[in-house]
Amino acid sequence: MGQSGRDTRSVGRRAYLAVVAFYCLLFAALVWPVYPLFATIEPRILAMPHSMAYVVGALLLSYMVLGGLYWLERDNPDDTADDERAAR
């Protein structure tokens, strides 16, 4: 496997670090001091108050990030099974 195995692992590691950073920023965006900036009733978005639409948007963005991570893992499966076979 050589170099290509290392490349996929580094891509996976960078993806995990990016997802962790995203969720840290998402957490910060949903608590004080950022959330009160968007905690208003007006304007209404899809019949929801702005503050609720903000949370729903964050939830949908979180769903898309996890879906992207799932696709990345599905396309680049972990090489632990190959490592276990090579050890035998």
Short-list 64, 67, 76, CA closest to 11 = 76
Q: Which one is predicted more confidently, 9 or 18? A: 18
CA distance 52 to 47: 10
Amino acid at 7: D
Q: Which one is predicted more confidently, 85 or 54? A: 54
Reported as a single tens digit per residue, the pLDDT across 49-80 is: 999 999 999 999 999 999 999 998 888 766 55
Domain regions of the chain by residue span:
2-80
- pTM passes above 0.85: no
